[in-house]
Amino acid sequence: MMKSIKGQIVFFTVFLVLLTICSSWYLSSKAFQNSLINQAFEEQSLTLENIEKSIAKLNRSEAIRFLAQKNFAHSDRISLYDLTGKIIWDSKPEEAKIEYLSGSADFQRALKEPLVFDSIYNKAKRTYLTHMLKKISLSDEELIVVLSRSLNLLTSVKGGLNLYFFLLMLSLSFFAVLLSHFIIRKILTPLEELSGVASKLAEGKEARFSLIGPPEISNLARTLREMAENLQNTLKLLNQQRNNLKQLIDYLPAGVILIDSEGKILYLNKSTIDMLDMAQGDYINKLFIGVI
């Protein structure tokens, strides 16, 4: 029983530690992720606002030349699409580009809404991407400006967080095992000793034990020890009284025979054997009718 309790204490202590660490890791990752995404939203909103102010009075060709010369967003990729979704210009042509965005839900929203922002996880690059789309009116037509940003910092920081929390998990798991063993040694070991003492007392045997342990366990042990001492004193007194009674009956001139409900002899004194001229022998637990 105690071994089962010990295993449960170790298991639940380690489980709670791991649950706490995993929860902290998840909350930290989400908080940092949301912080970077919100930062990207604010910066891309400001960039789009500056782009709109700069190219609002230009035509398509002038707007493309202007954007090619100016460095509005070093960390962002700027793409221009016409209202059919066909790409017109890309600030980073070396990257894989989408020729048409007409089938994109964000593009369709950008045709109707003033500003569209979205963040997705790119499994191929293992990084988060943010996209901001806005319809801007030029002097000769309307275009959709798309800003894209890779949150590489989030990926690198998450990698660092993973390593940090993994090491923290190993360290705290080790300390959790030590803590559980400390709890077992301070609480369960004294209880196990008290359980063994109680079993011995139930069998009428003498039992000794220490009073080492937490105050509650020590108080329980002290009470149990007092009960054990009282029980031992009572047993000694009963044994003494039984011996005295046996000696008294042995020296009675009258014969005394004790039998149980089944007719078996429990005791007979020397006077009974002499009076009935019985042969010497052991008559205890023998049937009364067969002996007398």
Instruction: Tell me the CA end-to-end span of the chain in Å, nearest whole number.
Output: 53
**CB-based burial, 249-287: b 16+ in 10 Å, e otherwise:** beeeeeeeeebeeeebbeebbebbeeeeeeeeeebeeee
Name the segment(s) of the chain with CATH classification 3.30.450.20.
2-162
Give the span between the Cα atoms of 137 and 154, in whole angstroms.
34
Q: How far apart are CA 167 and CA 164, in angstroms?
A: 5
pLDDT of residue 135: 93
Q: In the prediction, which pLDDT does 283 show?
A: 67
Residue 38 is predicted with a pLDDT of: 87
Q: What is the pTM of this model?
A: 0.52
pLDDT value for 258: 75
Residues 155 and 128: beta-carbon distance below 8 Å: yes
Question: Each residue's pLDDT tens digit in the chain (292 positions)?
Answer: 445 666 777 777 778 878 887 888 788 777 877 888 888 888 888 888 989 998 989 999 999 888 888 776 667 888 899 998 888 898 887 765 566 676 688 888 888 998 999 888 777 767 778 889 999 999 889 999 999 888 776 666 666 667 777 787 778 778 877 777 777 777 666 667 777 767 766 666 666 656 555 665 667 667 777 777 777 788 788 888 888 877 777 777 777 777 777 778 777 777 777 776 666 556 677 776 666 6
Fold (topology level) of 2-162: Beta-Lactamase (3.30.450)
pLDDT at residue 134, as a whole number: 93
Which pLDDT score is estimated for 276?
67
Q: Are 268 and 250 in contact (CB under 8 A)?
A: no
> In the 8-state DSSP scheme, what is residue 253?
S
Between the alpha carbon of residue 285 and those of residues 133, 249, 265, 272, the distances in Å are 104, 19, 5, 16
The enclosing H or E element of 162 equals helix 152-183
Q: Which two tokens stand for residue 276?
A: 């009935």
Residue 142 has a pLDDT of 92
pLDDT at 218: 67
